[in-house]
Amino acid sequence: MVSRRMVLFALLVLFALAVLTVQARSEDRREIGFLGTLVVAAMTPVQAALARVSEAVASTWRALSEIGELRVENQQLRRQVEMLSEEIHRLREQAREAERLERILGLARSLPQRTIAARVIARSPNAWYHTILLDRGSRSGISVNDPVLAPSGLVGRVMEVTPASARVLLISDPRSAVGALVQRSRDVGVVQGLGEGRLSMRYLTRSAEVQEGDLVVTSGLGGIFPRGLFIGTIVTVTKDESGLFQEAEVRPGADLDRLEEVLVVLQGR
């Protein structure tokens, strides 16, 4: 069946060529004649089909070209989005840093003593000892036992100094002891570090009126920390084993695990 169709198609083509040849030799080439009209009529559907196929191919090619262009444009947009995302993260970090520095400057303006801001550049990896290292040292006027503060509360005191750095003993370190005062009742005691960001206020008398939620500040006793610096908030109160004193667990005001910038009080200079 297929071979018959092919033969028929070939005969039609040959017939068309013969007619066109005869027509081309006629005296008036502008007239196609009866046979020419038949050939044109027979070939018109074929030409229309070919035109549709050609248009479909052209449309497909245009679509493929547009897809390629869209892919390139999409890649460019992705790169721009990534760049903008990085810029947004950078600006957010700068805004947070500016906010922290503004709080540090506000704290400095509220203190009568000379102060200097410093950045935390390292932390002690030891679980038993709690220290941080600052990027300022004796060249900036810092010396041993200078108090160190954050906007939210007392941080500790300077324990070692080099010309370009200072190591700070945090109040949460078991070696730390700070003369303290319960702000509401005016009862005095000593705040000592328990490690892991925990504090204990000890040597409160048996009659001390201390309760959960009381604020604890430095007493000024001992000659290192100025009076009235915020230490933290009392969480629980218990009697010690002897029954002569009370102890209170204190939550530090400063987040000692997330310090980035601090303020060093330059005492006596």
Domains of the chain, residue spans: 1-17+33-86, 114-266
User: Who has greater pLDDT, 73 or 5?
Assistant: 73
Reading the block at residue 25, the tokens are 């030799």
Interatomic CA distance for residues 174 and 190, integer angstroms: 12
User: Who has greater pLDDT, 267 or 225?
Assistant: 225
CATH of domain 114-266: 2.40.10.350
Q: Is 205 helix (H, G, I), strand (E, B) or coil?
A: strand
The reported pLDDT for the residue numbered 27 is 47
The reported pLDDT for the residue numbered 49 is 67
The torsion angle over the Cα atoms of residues 135, 139, 140 and 142, rounded to 10 degrees, is 80
Least confident range of 72-76, 165-169, 221-225: 72-76
User: Who has greater pLDDT, 37 or 194?
Assistant: 194
The residue type of 215 is L
* Percent of the chain whose pLDDT exceeds 70: 77
**What are the backbone angles phi and psi of residue 152, rounded to the nearest 5°?**
-95, 0
pTM listed for this prediction: 0.66
